[in-house]
Structure 1
Amino acid sequence: MKYQQFNEEIIQLIGGKENIQAVVHCMTRLRFTLKDRSLAQTDAMKAMDGVIDVVSNNVSYQIIIGTHVSEVHAELITMLGLSNQTTNEETVEEKKHPLKAMLDLVSETMTPVIEPIIASGLLAGFLSLFTMTGILSAESPTYILLNSIREAVFFFLPILIAMSCAKRLNASPYLAVALAATLVSSSINDVAGLSIFGIHLPQMAYANSFIPIILATWFMGKLTLLLKKYIPKFLQYFLNPVLIMVICLPVTLLIFGPIGIWIGDGLGWFFELLHNTFGSWIVLTLYAAFQPFLIMLGAGNFMMPLALNFVNKMGYDPIFLAAATISDIAVSGAMLGYFLKAKNSEQKQLFGTVSFSAIMGVTEPAIYGVFVKYRKPFIAVMIGGGIGGLFAGLMNVKTYSIVWGLMGLPSYAENQDFANLTFMIISVVIAFVAAAVAAYLLGIPSEKKETASVKEEVAQPNKVKNSLKKIPLYSVAAGELIPLAEVKDQAFSTGALGKGIGILPTSNEVVSPVDGEVMVVFPTKHAIGLKTKEGVEVLIHIGIDTVELDGQHFDTIVTAGDQVTAGQLLATVDFEGVKAAGYDPTIIVVITNTVDYLDVIPSPSGALTSEAECLTIML
């Protein structure tokens, strides 16, 4: 038995055979159902040779082994005297901590809404610039029409929020939007003296708000499931929509509306207290310095509800939006420092590209493409962003519109507040220059090695010049590429199983990213392993925790041993069915033998076709 000693150690550290109720495996990990979790010595297990990581959650106790886990599992169940179980775990609904579940929901809800918010914010900046320069008058019809876009986005924000979060909360998007539209209608929004069923309703302004509609949509999702359970199927089409609306509206007006407004007021009170006691400059400085870490952890959107609440209550945001802009500019400065320091033309192109992207307010390519690899730029941004944020905080810089990045700077002069604009410009200049200087002085960690490699090649002209060969991997599906760090699975997002990317699919076809051989097709059809002639091992993991679906919604076209070419169909997946079953449909593509190569470089985030290059492997 090849893994006997390894399995004996696992059994001992997990609390002995008697503590193991069941053990199954998926593509990369052993999943234990334990009688007593407290008996498991997690830290000792993490230190074992052959164990990548240990994850304990409400579903199971998971020991991440790698793609050879099936061999380990086969020997383990023999040693335990258990029957050869299927790869599926018992169907257990994952229960998150309420606070984490709420933060995840807010972050996921805000992501699609950011697009119209950015458009309205930038428009506000341009309108401020036009009025400052005299191109437009604030009373002109053109100004009024264009400004109506900005006003409409924020007035009807509850409708956008309802559309964004409805599916995540098992509610009908159309009914959620109808409820939100009702709340912002002239009959209800900020109207005094309303009552329902003889109960007096408090006067509430639902326009520009976001918390009441999130709570209302959550309730709508619960009510929808309840009605589907008890209303006969032949009546559901007619009865459910009207019952949902006539129940959700009063409950929202009586309960969720006031609760949402109180939460918003509470947040405003907390930060006002912080401002009056310590000064908001502390929070602004820290956020400007550490925002790249939050983005890397997938928490970059957590500040958006807070900023929206500030703008709604105070007319401006004194902390987060200015800090976000200063941090983005510092990221751009750090990349400029690396651009000036680099001698390699490919590096210069990379640093220059991500520097321009960051100065326009999109820092993910820099953070995931450069910061994670070189690490020292984090220090440069902490220096530049921190100093710039400190200056902005001490000068009480205010952000009047929901906008960030260089293009949003004119909005800081709204209400003819030119001093505010001046201080903000000084802040971003400080952040940019300080981060650029810091990055230049800190240097590029791998530069010396690359220089030595070039010198060696010059000294040995007979050496094969193309020893640094690149292998491109093409996308496995049409959709949106996201950094691996944003994937909601710890084993993959930490890079423990290799470098790679995530894809949010927009089509139901999964194709091969390379020419090679199919090494394994998992029995539940949710994972496929490929190997190229160069030895690159590619794992395509379709969805997160979809092993629990036991192959439902998956139709695999290939089998182990098949030869495939790039672009060849591997599987078709009903992703809507996967989402309806409550699972994340993100496709994860990782190079499981990453350590065998010089580097694995992901392409920048954004839209993908199935023919687009998504990873580059440096041999």
Structure 2
Amino acid sequence: MDHSKTAAGVLKGVGGEDNVQSLVHCATRLRFVLKDESKADSAAIKATPGVITTAQAGGQYQVVIGNDVPEVFAEIGKISKFGGSAPTAATTDAPRGNLFNRFIAMIAAIFTPLLWALAGTGLLKAFLAAAVTFGWIDATTSTYLVLNALSDAFINFLPIALAITAARYFKASEFTSLAIAGALVYPTITASVGLPDLTFFGIPFTMVTYVSSVIPIIIIVWLQSHAEKVLYRVLPGAIRRFVTPMIVVLIAVPLVFVVIGPISAVLSGWIGNGIGWVFTNAPWAGGALMGGLWQVFVIFGLHWGLVPLFSLEYQTTGQILLIAPVFAAVLAQAAAVAGVWVRTRNKNLKSLAAPATLSGFLAGITEPAIYGINLPLKRPFAFGIVGGVLGGALMALGGIFSTSFVVPSGLALPALFGNGSMIMLVIGMATAIIVPFLLTVIVGFKDPVDEAVIPAEGTDVAVLSPIDGTVVALSETPDAAFADGSLGQGVAIKPRSGAVYAPFDAVVVAAFPTGHAIGLRHADGAELLIHIGIDTVKLGGQHFSLKVTSGQQVAAGDLLLEFDGDAIEAAGYDLTTPVIITNPDLYPEVGDAASGPIAHGEPLFFARAVESAFAAK
């Protein structure tokens, strides 16, 4: 499907943007509220490639698309003020699973929206550094001043950007979060870093830098989200809108300055001093620790604790031994993301890995690589640490040092030339780059690719009942698109309980935040949609409780979601639940369908692959 052409055809068919009052989408269809439904050309819309059918119900003009509805919805957002990028479960619901996986999911959700800007400004910084290195731009000119501001501003004020994404993730007020972040990087606050005898109402504290920081703003926005819930509940309606942000800012900002920031700084100092001691007494171990742990410290913002050590060493000796292994750490992560670029078959991941690789190698800006690719994929990040450990140890053994304070990157490598053993520098850099690159390419990682699985002839996928209830024919569903099989073959169930369980071992491919529908993919490629009720997307998630997230692996019998059937029916919605195979191109036959009363876990029907369905693939 050409999503852009489908979007343009649908928008034209409904009478154009001027005839649209609102637009949302559910699991399978675009749901328009039109100003004048008589202007909609149903025949033209149905003839648009990618459109299955249309329906008119509940005051909505519905265009049935199927699995590709989010992409078409996004394309409509590009050509009109409607549509766009719909929120996903990963960014609107708290992730589930073990603590580490939840942390990874949180980092990815908060940082992913920032990656393109980080990559773009990182590349600009790399090009600017190259221009200065080769004498194309004079660093004392106003041209350089402007270009340097363009390349540095975003990462310099990163807490402000993170305030927005963290607020969206934790469901806090975005503008209150911006007020908090703005205070952290306010010019007079930044200028007070290191000043003695600072107090807040008599409470002494030490001001630390929050420029480019990550952890303090995420922690405080998380606390803000909880505080706002309490304040909105207890404050009178007449004043809660303006008193809530006043109270939150008044408490949150001093809390960061007095507690969170200093604790982070103290922790950074302890770690920095410990590594410095090891580096002095065992250079190879110091190099391995710096090379291996630097990017881990970057994630937590703890690397700032090492920066004063760089300055102190330079001030006392005129050289910086500690910084050399950091080159290995930075270039190792860049090499790992380069390996992802080479190996992945996911077009989106490849398009992100390309600028992240260049940004890491040239400018030493590894945030796009770490937060967007290596850390979520896990293995590439670990391979980058291995390369940093080996490369850092070799460079430290060679006595490599810098005679200037630089940001470690490919373009800054001349700062290390002529300082220590050049043979060990070459060997160390080569090791830091080659090892993680080869490990990523050869050993690999779990590539997030939605590949079409071609089942063997006659493959049967047994679908168990996901719900306790009564099985009825799909044709009895009070919705034309489901009833006539346009969306896929299967059955319908009238629930008698409010729990939905996995009907087979599967991957969750669509977990809608509204909780009204869920899509699953079997290992043999069969895709199943469980749609709780008819038009229940209008409830906006009310009476539904989603228990899984998109991308999660589930086993047959695992709880997927819960719903309050009585409340849904009381709201005027039919609870008839279609359970259908949504890729009939691979599984066109559904047989042995059950009927009458059924309990979850009992056989519901078989989906069968036949040769004619996939011979041409």
Please give the TM-score of this superposition, normalised by the length of structure 1. Answer: 0.47
